[in-house]
Amino acid sequence: MIKRLIVAAFAAFFALPATATIEIDEVTSPGGISAWLVEDSSIPFVALEFWFVGGATLDAPTARGATYMMMGLLEEGAGDLNAQDYAAAVEGLAASFSFDSYRDAVVVSARMLTQNRDAAADLLRAAITTPRFDQDAIERVRGQVLAIIQSDARDPEEIAAATFNALAYGDHPYAFAQEGTAETVTGLSRDDIVAAHGAALTRDRVVVGAAGDISAAELGQLIDHILGDLPQTAPPRPDPAHFALSGGITVVDFPSPQSVAYFGHAGIDRDDPDFFAAFVLNQILGGGGFRSRLMGEVREKRGLTYGIGSFLSLADLSPGLLGQFSSSNELVGQAIDVVKEQWADLATNGVTQEERDTAIRYMTGEYPLRFDGNATIAGILAAMQSDDIPVDYVTNRNAYVEAVTLEDLRRVAARLLRPDDLHFVVVGQPQGLSPGN
Amino acid sequence: MLHRLALALGLTLTPVMAPAAGDVVEFFLDNGMQVVVITDDRAPAVTHMVWYRVGAADEPPGQSGIAHFVEHLMFKATDDMASGEFSNVVEANGGSDNAFTSWDYTGYFQRIAADRLGLMMQMEADRMRDIIFDPVEVATERSVILEERAQRTDSSAGALFNEQMRAALFLNHPYGAPIIGWRHEMEALSRDDAQVFHDIWYHPNNAILIVAGDVTAEQVRALAEEHYGPIPASLSLPARARPTEPPHIANRRVSFTDERVANPYVSIQMLAPVREPGDQAEAAALVILAELLGGGGQTSLLARRLQVEEERSLFAAAYYDSTSFDPSGFSLVNVPVPGLSLEEAEADLWRIIDDFLSEGIDTAHFARIKFQIAASEIYEEDSTQGLARRWGMELTTGLGLADIESWPEILAAVTPEDVMDAARRLLNDPVHVTGHLMRPAAATAEISQ
């Protein structure tokens, strides 16, 4: 789930086309909730996305996992309907709702057919504002969460990310899995769930993205109806997290022929003047696709992995520059050396003009292609607002990217890439690496 | 919550999808290449796909994994392009590209600005016939696919179990071998194996071009004739005649124990008919049967009874693969709550099936599923990439345009009686494979974090 957050944060930033191929309406509901809308009546449904900033970091230390479990319970009975009846009612309208929890936000996504939108909105309103939290549903979902925790404890990718976060963030909420532990989840009471609901879903922390077959006026009324009388204010968010991990390798023994490596060091804030240079730099280092430095050196030239990438984590409270790959136990040491070499080479020598030009062509060309559906667009619009990105970002974004010069890239590479600070968590039975060195 | 649990267990919930007819045009080039165009002008982008009617089930004996290996090698040098240049050009034009292999098909795709479609066709046509299998590249890429197998299969107890279950289900058909290949055979795949496989199957008359997005059929026709038209058809393209299954007369059991298993579960699998050209009614009934028994969410019979009412399961579901070249599988899965044995979980599945066969269908549930299938036509239009992918899968598994376009009506026409008849044929004392995915008996130590 932590990985999902990083992906969500990443998508949040880089998600709208420079050329305004879509038109965004800024809507304020009669009740004062702000929403962005892309109206398109070509398909008779609407996609809605509600982002409530705060998320699992609001959990009390004694109730870790409460927000995660609370979100899982929203679809388990609401208003007059028990879990079964609620699910049948949603199914009968062919609506789809999802209730997701992340470290820094909880997200409600919905698709509703135009033909029965009012009835679907009634059901969504019930889930958000009058969830029942019946004891039998709590016990059922608790069992599911415990199974997820057990499963994650035997999944090398989950172990790698969890270990990295635990090492990096001390006693900050970022150090802990949002699902909680077997102990905290076993101890969660109905009161804990009710409290998490009151804290996570509040009017002053919500933004809305919408796309599809709905007008601005209809959307405003729909939002007010769905959010009803949720509490106005939320508890404070935690302070920023200090990234406490220094360079090195941590090995976690795990019975597998292959090792998972999760690595990184501190990153860069979204409002840093060099942020766009860092964004282009990461594309060259380990961005998506096949032509990054890391893919080229570790996979294409040497066959040491199936896939490797790096990403700027824009987690609200502690940005990071992170990466991940898997290699056979006998190869992972070699792959780590190659990663460090690339890190050092870029830090010392910067990138070439061709690398800069190619990366920028890719990034600016790919941008407008992202909006290919109502559901996608609604998500992008909500995520942008949750990050306080202005609506004109849509038109300016490619210009920001194109303005990054070779000199900017040299400067930010020297500043951001610190090979000696890179910490690798290796989960497996790697050869030639010893635990804890 | 269920969805997240299913992911954690390596199981997925597959929503029912009925196709939207939409703006779809089909035609053929003179060399036999089939072309399908799906127009959607909501974004200035196209998805360009070439699908070959060949997959892992068409591999020669002893070369499991060669179809997927050739897919990887198609990104290397041709007579006109350097190794890796294909993806470099795509990315330098702001696009993304990748490929995929299944038992029945191999597909290549790019998503890119609509005005770059001709360039994509030029490069895709080039590698159809002029790919070069260089020995050094082959050796490096063989390491990559071995790493891929290690990551996707060998590192996951659930994936290894699924592989063993398939191998047990199919007695003779190559569907029993994994797409990625058995490791010992992958290690021996050679340059010549790749060359021979490519020479046999990669021809325009074995390919389907699918273009979806902001483009018209006439634009696609002109570009396709320019780039793919000059490639001659193969005169020696083999028929896709795979070894077939003998009658299944013996139940089989698979027991797989791995210390990485967090939540033990039981899986029951059996052969099932699939959509056939001109004959999709049985498959349509089975699609709805799978939904009723164990589709997404907690309203399905298995989830309602075992998870909610009896609280004996963490997760229970049914799966059916309707779209496949040869008969494929219908499966039931049950993850019991801690404290219940897999024997009990297995008995629970059969008990619910028996109840279903004797009690019949909840008509309100049936009506909801039918409405959802109808609505999925609306939702599916939201993703032209998804539409393109579904068309490719249907065409490469032997269905024709008429079959694909009539599928929604065939699904809509299914009656509760049809479902019960299909259920009795499938589930009344079927020959099946039962698998138990287990932890070692003495597995007390937690894996440390």
* Alpha-carbon radius of gyration of chain A: 23
pLDDT band at A346 (very low <50, low <70, confident <90, very high): very high
Nearest Cβ partner for B378 among A43, A288, A366:
A43
Determine the number of helices (DSSP H) and then strands (DSSP E) in chain B.
16, 11
d(CA A70, CA B118): 51
Tell me the average pLDDT across A21-37.
92
Rounded (5°) CA angle A294-A296-A298 = 60
d(CA A305, CA A327): 5
Residue among B84, B297, B375 minimizing CB distance to A87: B297
The DSSP symbol for A270 reads T
Asked whether A380 and A371 are in contact (CB, 8 A), the reply is yes
Q: Do the beta carbons of residue B265 and residue B434 sit within 8 Å?
A: no
- pLDDT computed for residue A366 by the predictor: 87
pLDDT (0 to 100) of residue A3: 29
The yes-or-no verdict on residue B406 having pLDDT over 50 is yes
B95: its two tokens: 């696009």
At B3, the pLDDT band (50, 70, 90 cuts) reads: low
pLDDT at residue A305, rounded to an integer: 95
Question: Does the pLDDT of residue A191 top 90, yes or no?
Answer: yes
**CA of A145 vs chain B CAs: smallest distance (Å):** 8
Burial of B198: CB neighbours in 10 Å, binned 0-12, 13-18, 19+: buried
- Comparing alpha-carbon positions, the chain B residue that sits nearest to A17 is B43
Q: Out of B4, B154, B338, name the one closest to residue A148 (CB).
A: B4
pLDDT of residue B123: 97
Structure tokens at B111: 């998503």
A200 CA: distance to closest CA in chain B (Å)? 17
Q: What does the angle CA B385 – CA B388 – CA B390 come to, to the nearest 5 degrees? A: 110
In terms of C-beta density within 10 A (0-12 exposed, 13-18 middle, 19 or more buried), how is residue B152 classed?
middle
> What average pLDDT does range B235-254 have in this prediction?
96
What separation in angstroms does the CA of B187 have from each of A326, B61, B149, B166?
Answer: 19, 15, 11, 21
- Its ipTM equals 0.88
Predicted local confidence at residue A234, as pLDDT: 87
Which A positions 183-242 lie with beta carbon below 8 A of chain B?
A: none
Write out the H or E segment, with its range, that includes residue B183: helix B183-186
- How far away is chain B from the Cα of A419, in angstroms, using its nearest Cα? 25
For A288-334, the three-class secondary structure string (H helix, E strand, C coil) is: CCCCCHHHHHHHHCCCCCCCEEEEEECCCCCCEEEEEEEEECCCHHH
The angle subtended at Cα A63 by Cα A58 and Cα A66, nearest 5°, is 70
The residue-averaged pLDDT of A5-25 equals 44
Which candidate, A68, A317, A80, A35, places its Cα nearest to that of A199?
A68
Asked if A62 is an interface residue toward chain B (Cβ–Cβ < 8 A), one would say: no
CB A31 within 8 A of CB A229: no
Per-residue model confidence (pLDDT) at position A12:
28
Instruction: Single out the residue of A30, A16, A8, A111 nearest to residue A391, CA to CA.
Output: A16
What is the structure's pLDDT at B15? 43
Q: Between chains, do B144 and A368 touch, taking CB under 8 Å as contact?
A: no
Give the one of A45, A148, A363 whose C-beta lies nearest to B5's C-beta.
Answer: A148
Q: What is the pLDDT of residue A288?
A: 77
DSSP string, A214-230: --HHHHHHHHHHHHTT-
Q: Are B124 and A390 in contact (CB under 8 A)?
A: no
- Closest approach of A167 to chain B, Cα-based (Å): 11
Chain B contact present for A159, CB below 8 A: yes
pLDDT band at residue A8 using 50, 70 and 90 as cut-offs: very low
Of residues A21 and B411, the one with the higher pLDDT is B411
Indicate whether B430 pLDDT > 80: yes
Q: Residue A1's pLDDT is what? A: 24
Smallest CA–CA distance, residue B228 to chain A, in Å, is 25
Q: Could you tell me where the DSSP H helices lie in A94-189?
A: 117-129, 135-152, 156-169, 182-187
On the question of pLDDT at A328 being above 70, the answer is yes
**What pLDDT score does B442 carry?**
66
pLDDT in tens, B351-386: 999 999 999 999 999 999 999 999 998 999 898 889
Alpha carbon distance A234, B120 (integer Å)? 51
Both tokens of residue B151?
A: 């990551």
Q: What is the model's pLDDT at position A13?
A: 30
Spatial separation of the C-alpha atoms in residues B189 and B181, rounded to whole Å: 10
The one-character DSSP state at B279 is B
pLDDT digits (tens, 9 = 90+) for A117-150: 999 999 999 999 999 999 999 999 999 999 999 9
C-alpha closest to that of A111 among A126, A81, A90: A90
Identify the three-state secondary structure at position A52: strand
Taking CA atoms, A432 is separated from A112, A247, A336, A428, in Å, by 55, 18, 11, 12
Measure the CA–CA gap between A362 and A134, rounded to whole angstroms: 50
pLDDT tens digits along B311-338:
999 999 999 999 999 999 999 999 999 9
> How many CA atoms are closer than 13 Å to the CA of B88, on its beta-carbon side?
17
- The identity of residue B213, as a single letter, is G
User: Taking 50 as the threshold, does the pLDDT of residue A70 lie above it?
Assistant: yes
**Would you list the DSSP string of B385-431?**
HHHHHHHHHHHHTT--HHHHHHHHHHHHH--HHHHHHHHHHHHSS--
CB of A362 less than 8 A from some CB of B: yes
How confident is the model over A96-116, as a mean pLDDT? 97
- Describe the strand order of the beta sheet including A96-101 as a list of residue ranges: A25-28, A34-39, A206-212, A45-53, A105-113, A96-101
Cα separation, B263 vs B326, whole angstroms: 32
Interchain pair B143, A306: CB under 8 A: no
A230, amino acid identity: L
Taking the C-alpha atoms of residue A109 and residue A101, their distance in angstroms, rounded to an integer, is 11
> CA torsion sign, A329 to A333 to A336 to A342?
negative
pLDDT band at A4 (very low <50, low <70, confident <90, very high): very low
Q: What is the pLDDT of residues B265-296, one digit of tens each?
A: 999 999 999 999 999 999 999 999 999 999 97
* Residue pair A320/A174 in contact by the 8 Å Cβ criterion: no
Give the mean model confidence (pLDDT) for residues A280-286.
97
Structure confidence by residue, pLDDT tens digits, B219-233:
999 999 999 999 999
Q: Does the beta-carbon distance from B299 to A300 stay under 8 Å?
A: no
Over residues A214-256, the pLDDT tens digits come to 999 999 999 999 998 899 998 999 999 989 899 999 999 999 9
CB-nearest to B141 from A290, A303, A373 is: A303
Retrieve residue B314's tokens: 């963490």
Cβ pairs bridging A and B (under 8 Å): 216
pLDDT at B11: 53
Contact B314 A367 (CB under 8 A): no
Q: Does A299 contact chain B (CB < 8 Å)?
A: yes
Mean pLDDT of chain A: 91
Q: What is the pLDDT of residue B42?
A: 83
Coil vs helix vs strand at B363: helix
User: Which residue of the set B26, B59, B71, B147 is catalytic?
Assistant: B71
Reduced to 3 states (helix: H, G, I; strand: E, B; else coil), residue A46 is strand
Of A17-31, A319-333, B82-96, B258-272, the range with the lowest mean pLDDT is A17-31
pLDDT confidence of residue B5: 57
Is residue A233 within 8 Å of residue A382, measured between CB atoms? no
DSSP codes joined into one string, B281-346 = HHHHHHHHHHHHHH-SSTTSHHIIIIIIIS--EEEEEEEE----SS-EEEEEEEEEPTT--HHHHH
Q: Is the pLDDT of residue B305 over 80?
A: yes
**Residues B298, A84: C-beta atoms closer than 8 Å:** yes
HSE toward the beta carbon, residue B222, CA cutoff 13 A: 6
Q: What share of chain A is helix, strand, coil (3-state, %, to 5)?
A: 50, 20, 30
Task: Report the mean per-residue pLDDT for chain B.
Answer: 92
Among candidate residues B397, B17, B22, the one with its CA nearest the CA of residue B213: B22
User: Does the annotation mark B394 as catalytic?
Assistant: no
Which chain B positions have a beta carbon within 8 Å of A290's beta carbon?
75, 84, 87-88, 91
Better-scored residue on pLDDT, A22 or B75: B75
What pLDDT, on the 0 to 100 scale, is given for residue B99? 95
User: Residue A14 — very low, low, confident or very high, per pLDDT cuts 50/70/90?
Assistant: very low
Are A257 and B155 a contacting pair at CB < 8 A?
yes
Residue A209 and residue A333: Cα distance in Å, rounded? 45
